[in-house]
Structures are given as C-alpha cells and as structure tokens.
C-alpha cells in the first residue's frame, strides 16, 4: 500500500491529503520514462563519440594510421636526402661533365619542371591525410622525372666521352720523323724564302731534313686518301684523313709503304723520305690541315716530345730561313 502525501492548508490551518488521479499518474510515469530514455540515448551517443572510448577495432585502426603517417614521414626524409644527392649530381653534370665535353648545360627549368594539365592526384583527395600523401606522391613523381632526365644526360655524356676519345685519337700528335733519324728542321711554318726564285712566300708546312729512305710515321689514326704524285710540286706524297676535320700531308717521298683506302694507326710507317717533286734537297715536307685550312704543324707535336724538345723545335721552326721546297 502506497503512502499518502499531505500538504498544509493555510486557510484551514490543517494538513490535507494530496489526491492524484490515475490520469496524472500515467502522465507522470510517461514523462519520467521518456526523459530517462532521452538522457540515456544522449549519454550513449556522447560515449560513442568520445575519443577516449574506442572499440578494439578502432584502436587497432588508429594505431595502423599512425604507423602509416610515421612511414610517410620517414619516406619524406629519405626523399629529401635523395633530392640533395640528385641536385649534387645535376650540378656536377652541368658544371663539370658537360663543360668538359663541350655540351650545353641542361636548363634548370627543364630539370625541375612539374606536371601540368589535369589533376593527377584527384584519387588521393578526400582522406584524413590527403595533403601529406599528395605532397609525397608529387615529390616522388618529380624526383622520378629528374632521374630520367639525368640518366639521359649521362647517356649523352658517355657518348660524348667516346667521341672525345675518337677525336683525341684523330688529332695529329706526333712528329712524322723520329728525332734520332732527324738531321735538322730545315724550315718552319710561315713566310720563308723560296729556294728557286728567292722570293718571300708563305711556307704552309714544316721541312724535316733526314737521310734518304728514313721512315715516315703517321701522325695519328686515319685513312689514306691519297698516295700519288699527281699534285703539283709535292712529288710523291701521302694524305691521311684523320676525321673530325684533320688531314695531314707528307710530301717529296722516295717511296710508299701504304695504298689509298688503307687504315693506319698513329706511329705506322707510311713511306720513306726522298727528294721528288719541287724540292731542293732530301727532306720531308709535312702539313697539317684543319677543316680545309693549313695550320702550323708545330702546335700538334705534344705526344712524343719532352717540353725541352718542343721548345727547341718551336724556336728553330720560327726562324725565317730558306725552305727546301
């Protein structure tokens, strides 16, 4: 049996019993139940939403996400180190390797160019760490492009290096008669006295006096393009095309040791000293031509001479004496 409730009536100065109808009891009960349900639902939502109360699955996912973030940060650090190394390689490539082999440097704008056009990273948007992931992916793409450009550059430098070796091998670099066989350098390149009419003329080569049939050596690798006596004044002579614009001529020979079209290497015996053609004595007339122009042969004697021997030849060849042809 429920206890009765009373209230004090000031008019009658007495306690009177509070009488509650069934309808009021139902309304009160319903209100209490609804309020309790509402507050219970709100409390449950708050508990579910709070970061301090996660399910085991959510905790595992959170740990996995943090691990991914750490791995991306480590990857970014490694990419930064690779970028530093690549920048150093690019600097060496532009300022050393390409300069050494006479190639134009690659424009930094080409090396650092990004990717234009459509958004390549739209599929990476909309995630919690989208910005970090997109920046990392961009960095990887740019480094990949730089590596491709650098790889092609090194391929070009390698090709240039091989061509440089061939070019160096093509440059006439030895004296055509050995010093041991040489009597004297009779005349050098420049204005000299003609031995026949005594006029001052341009002497476009060097005259080496040596005994008849002294061996004459190829100044560098090349192909024999002429071995005949059909050129006016040269008598029996040989011309070697060395490539890269270099050609050497050996005149007034007594005999040949090669034929037209034959490949020769530096130091091969190609003929023998004589006195054929327009000549005033047994000697070798030697010329060097670059891109069709006759140049001073003394500038190419650096392979088989000491500095002292070269200085001596330079001094003798510069004397304005009488030539032998």
Q: What pLDDT does 51 receive?
A: 60
pLDDT in tens, 117-140: 567 777 777 676 777 777 888 888
> Is residue 200 a contact partner of residue 193, using CB atoms and an 8 Å limit?
yes
Nearest to 3 by CA among 23, 14, 18: 18
Residue 198 lies in a domain: yes
Tell me, yes or no, whether 72 and 158 share the same domain: yes
Residue 56 lies in a domain: no
Q: What pLDDT does 261 receive?
A: 96
Q: What pLDDT does 108 receive?
A: 76
Tell me, yes or no, whether 306 and 190 share the same domain: yes
Residue 303 lies in a domain: yes
| CB contact set of 84 (below 8 Å; sequence gap of 6+) | none
| Last residue in a domain, options 149, 170, 191 | 170
pLDDT in tens, 166-176: 888 888 989 99
Tell me, yes or no, whether 189 and 129 share the same domain: no
Residue 134 lies in a domain: yes
| Last residue in a domain, options 121, 136, 170 | 170
Q: What pLDDT does 47 receive?
A: 62
Rg (C-alpha) for the chain, rounded Å, is: 49
Tell me, yes or no, whether 293 and 184 share the same domain: yes
Tell me, yes or no, whether 192 and 293 share the same domain: yes
Tell me, yes or no, whether 221 and 165 share the same domain: no
Q: What pLDDT does 303 receive?
A: 55
Tell me, yes or no, whether 188 and 109 share the same domain: no
Q: How far apart are CA 97 and CA 100, in angstroms?
A: 5
Which CATH number belongs to the domain containing residue 293 in this structure?
Answer: 2.70.70.10
For residue 217, what are the domain limits? 179-317
Above pLDDT 70, what percent of the chain?
78
The arithmetic mean of pLDDT across residues 241-267, rounded, is 95
Tell me, yes or no, whether 165 and 188 share the same domain: no
Q: β-strand 263-264 against 246-251: which pairing, if any?
A: unpaired
The arithmetic mean of pLDDT across residues 18-27, rounded, is 70
| Last residue in a domain, options 170, 188, 223 | 170
State yes or no: pLDDT of 271 exceeds 90.
yes
The arithmetic mean of pLDDT across residues 11-32, rounded, is 71
CA angle 289, 291, 294 (to 5 degrees): 30
Decide: helix, strand or coil at residue 177. coil
Q: What pLDDT does 263 receive?
A: 96
The mean-pLDDT minimum among 48-52, 286-290, 305-309 falls in 48-52
Residue 143 lies in a domain: yes
Q: What pLDDT does 264 receive?
A: 96
* Number of Cβ within a 10 Å radius of residue 105: 15
Q: What pLDDT does 221 receive?
A: 93
Tell me, yes or no, whether 188 and 106 share the same domain: no
Tell me, yes or no, whether 201 and 230 share the same domain: yes
For the chain, how many structural domains are there in total? 3
Tell me, yes or no, whether 22 and 90 share the same domain: no
The arithmetic mean of pLDDT across residues 157-182, rounded, is 85
Q: Alpha helices, DSSP H only, in 106-129?
A: 108-112
């Amino acid at each position: 049996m429920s206890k009765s409730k009373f209230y004090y009536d000031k008019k009658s100065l007495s306690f009177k019993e509070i009488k509650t109808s069934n309808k009021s009891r139902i309304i009160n009960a319903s209100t209490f139940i609804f309020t309790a349900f509402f507050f219970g639902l709100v409390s449950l939502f708050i508990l579910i939403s709070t970061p301090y109360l996660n399910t085991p699955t959510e905790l595992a996912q959170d740990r996995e996400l943090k691990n991914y973030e750490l791995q991306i940060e480590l990857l970014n650090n490694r990419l930064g180190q690779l970028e530093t190394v690549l920048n150093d390689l690019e600097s060496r490539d532009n300022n050393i390797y390409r300069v050494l082999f006479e190639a134009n440097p690659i424009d930094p704008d080409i090396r650092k160019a990004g990717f234009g056009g459509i958004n390549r990273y739209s599929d990476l948007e909309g995630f919690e760490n989208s910005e970090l992931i997109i920046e990392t992916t961009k960095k990887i793409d740019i480094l990949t492009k730089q590596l491709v450009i650098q790889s092609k550059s090194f391929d070009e430098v390698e090709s240039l290096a091989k061509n440089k070796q061939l070019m160096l091998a093509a440059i006439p670099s030895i004296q055509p008669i050995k010093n041991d066989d040489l009597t004297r350098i009779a005349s050098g390149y420049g204005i000299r006295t003609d031995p026949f009419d005594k006029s001052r003329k341009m002497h476009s080569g060097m005259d080496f006096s040596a005994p008849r049939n002294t061996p004459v050596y190829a100044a560098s690798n090349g192909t024999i393009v002429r071995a005949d006596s059909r050129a006016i004044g040269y008598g029996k002579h040989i011309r070697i095309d060395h490539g890269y614009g270099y050609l050497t001529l050996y005149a007034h020979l007594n005999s040949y040791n090669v034929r037209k079209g034959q490949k020769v290497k530096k130091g091969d015996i190609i003929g023998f000293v004589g006195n054929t053609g327009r000549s005033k004595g047994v000697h070798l007339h030697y010329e060097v031509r670059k891109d069709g122009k006759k140049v001073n042969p003394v500038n190419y004697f650096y392979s088989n001479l000491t500095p002292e021997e070269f200085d001596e030849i330079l001094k003798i060849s510069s004397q304005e004496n009488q030539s032998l042809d």
